[in-house]
Amino acid sequence: MNLQSTAQQSTQAKELDFYADLNDFLTTDEVAKILKVSNSYLAKLRFEHYNKGKDGSLRADFLPFFKAGKSVRYKKSDVLAWIERNTVRG
């Protein structure tokens, strides 16, 4: 194996990782089904993002999201972290 083919394989592996990461995004419908909540509840959480506290901090129950045009997407890892942060332990 020569240096050029190793570099090509490395580049190809990075591209595959990038495209695999794209599958880690969820729609509002998918997140609502996972959490067993309504889409309107998720919309409320998004709205509250724009209404931060006086100190500029986000609410503890904030669920990170991003928008691509009118579409809202959530990262799977953010959803899992949100579940962990909001789990009540007795």
CA 81 to chain centre: 9
- Average pLDDT for the chain: 79
Per residue in 14-53, pLDDT tens? 655 655 566 689 999 999 999 999 999 999 888 876 666 6
Mean pLDDT on 67-77: 92
- pLDDT for 71 equals 93
Sequence letter at residue 19: Y
Q: What is the mean pLDDT of residues 65-81?
A: 92
Determine how many CB atoms are found less than 10 A away from the CB of residue 11: 10
pTM for the model? 0.66
